[in-house]
Amino acid sequence: MAFLYRYWLWFSLIVFLCPMTEAQENYTDHRTGVKILFPENTGIFPHQWSGKKVNPSLQPLTPEESIRLEDLLSFAFSKYPASVLNARLNKVYVVKSMTFYGLPYGGTNYQHTVFISDDTDNPWFSDEYIEQVFHHEFSSILLRDFPDYFDKTKWLSLNTPSFRYGKGGADAIQQGVASMALDPETIKQGFLSQYSTASVEEDINVVAQNLFTGNREFWRVYETNEAIRKKTMLLISFYHRINPVFTESYFRSFTYGATAQR
């Protein structure tokens, strides 16, 4: 899902069946073969995003900053078996900023491509934050590729009978419920943050980003909240079906800065 960085959240943008042009700069991750590209214009976006309604724009990343992003994304890739990324992710485009519908996005995804912003003028764009954007977006790709591996019915059953998800990221922003911070009130209801309640996919994405860059607070919530624990277990089961390396103990090894072994 896509991240609208003004409010520190991800907001989904799903469009199907349209071509994209290549970026001008190119780095290939040696372990996975995934391309990390640093474009200079909106030609990277699917042509169906080019109308006045979506009105995409971008500001390119500086060449100096691209080196940091190559290292950071290669680090994020190290947490997946090479075969998973090689089969399910073609490329990652990185820009300084991008906007759709007049709103700034920190990330989005399309088919087997992830788009990420790295706003060097914004102190919130730390290494950890940008890595979370990647895992958040890539989890949406995996959900589309492996729909039968995820038990959505069981996930929904973990919410209270009266609960209904919102209408997605844009509506969450308009309603003022776009916070991504771990929130004690929403945790009581079985959601990590306000934004988790925007849609079932956002709920899943937020758990995924915490699994891959989880801190002690996330795992404390896992231990103390039954609904979030069961949701996390469902998502671990989903990843485990994709590749058996993904287990609870494997994810627990990811205190931020800890790399995976391959």
Q: What is the pLDDT of residues 140-149, one digit of tens each?
A: 999 999 999 9
- Which of these ranges, 7-16, 20-29, 118-127, has the smallest mean pLDDT? 7-16
* Inside any domain, residue 98: yes
| Residues 122 and 160 placed together within one structural domain of the fold | no
The pLDDT, as a whole number, for residue 3 is 56
230 or 194, which is more confident: 230
The pLDDT, as a whole number, for residue 192 is 95
Q: Is 10 helix (H, G, I), strand (E, B) or coil?
A: strand
Query: Helices (DSSP H) in the chain: which residue ranges?
Result: 63-77, 82-88, 127-145, 152-157, 169-174, 184-188, 200-212, 216-224, 226-242, 248-252
| Residues 170 and 112 placed together within one structural domain of the fold | no
The pLDDT, as a whole number, for residue 167 is 87
* Inside any domain, residue 260: no
256, pLDDT greater than 70: no
| Residues 57 and 11 placed together within one structural domain of the fold | yes
Say if CB 19 and CB 49 are below 8 A apart.
Answer: no
Domain count within the chain: 2
Question: Tokens standing for 225?
Answer: 């909240």
Give the global pTM. Answer: 0.87
Decide which of 101, 132, 147 is a domain's last residue.
147
* Inside any domain, residue 112: yes
Domain ranges, residue 133: 3-147
| Residues 246 and 178 placed together within one structural domain of the fold | yes
| Residues 115 and 29 placed together within one structural domain of the fold | yes
* Inside any domain, residue 65: yes
What are the tens digits of pLDDT across the range 181-224?
A: 789 999 999 999 988 999 999 999 999 999 999 888 999 999 99
| Residues 107 and 197 placed together within one structural domain of the fold | no
| Residues 134 and 154 placed together within one structural domain of the fold | no
